[in-house]
Structure 1
């Protein structure tokens, strides 16, 4: 089941976020002191922000966070976070969650979506390519992240 996240989901989102991101950092996800539970609570509460979750057997197993960045027209959205529990990779959770994002973007009139994916995260890059995203080269994080784009309307 895909649904909109609620504040009570923040602890589960933080745990999933850290577990999934640690998979592409050889030394584990760097601890920069961020309170991820609080960060997810803020993302859920932020106006014009959307956080979708995939729930299986009562547990949050996937998440997607997106919004129109400041200064962008409302037809543009950035996918800021997209994570699936590593023990459920390649089982359809990500594809189902991605389809729900695209459905919402189309309903909202979004014509362009973009994301930045860690350059070492080849698994995620391949997933996005399978979903129709195109590589645009390096994004806002310099040489560490690739920028990818998608036209939800199929353009």
Structure 2
């Protein structure tokens, strides 16, 4: 089940976010940079703010009452940014990420969004393959931002819209 996140979800969101980030940052960054106390606190503040922001949407995926996936997007400039999409590693390849992605795209279609962007860590090949399979391509204007690839998705109009 996909639903909008609330402040009551923060502990589970932070646990999942930290666990998921470890799968692609481990071996590339010092653990303190993605799982240290200061980073977890910073992350918690960011998620708490996103849950309450008018211009942001945070979604959670639940299975059997447990939070197994999270996604966040927000409006920036003249488009939408998928700022986060993480699935608990114990639930990879179960369709959780696809369901969250579809929910985000459906929301963008309802809002009349024509494109979306995201950044993905250059060593996170699993995520790159996931996004590529869903139509994301290298952003022609800004293909990189530091150690992240910038991807862009042309959001197609929802059937029956317009």
- Global fold match (TM > 0.5): yes
> When the two structures are superposed, what TM-score results if normalisation uses the length of structure 2?
0.85
Q: Which residue of 2 aligns with 1:59?
A: 66
1:63 CA displacement:
0.6
Q: SS of the counterpart of 2:38?
A: coil
Q: Which residue of 2 aligns with 1:5?
A: 5
1:126 CA displacement:
0.2
Q: Which residue of 2 aligns with 1:84?
A: 87
**Structure 2: 5+ residue stretches without partners:** 158-162
Q: Which residue of 1 aligns with 2:104?
A: 101
> Take 1:51 and 1:131, find their aligned partners in 2: how far apart are those partners?
20
> Take 1:108 and 1:46, find their aligned partners in 2: how far apart are those partners?
17
Correspondence for 1:124 among 127, 145, 159 = 127
> Take 1:118 and 1:32, find their aligned partners in 2: how far apart are those partners?
21
1:39 CA displacement:
2.3
List per-residue Cα deviations over 1:67-113 (Å, max 9, x = no partner).
Answer: 012xx12xx10011110001111111111111111000000111000
List per-residue Cα deviations over 1:107-144 (Å, max 9, x = no partner).
Answer: 0111000000000000000000111111236433x2x1
> Take 2:143 and 2:36, find their aligned partners in 1: how far apart are those partners?
24
Question: CA-atom RMSD, angstroms?
Answer: 1.5
> Take 1:61 and 1:131, find their aligned partners in 2: how far apart are those partners?
20
| Structure 1 residue 31 corresponds to structure 2 residue 51 | no
More divergent stretch after superposition (95-104 vs 128-137): 128-137
> Take 1:100 and 1:49, find their aligned partners in 2: how far apart are those partners?
14
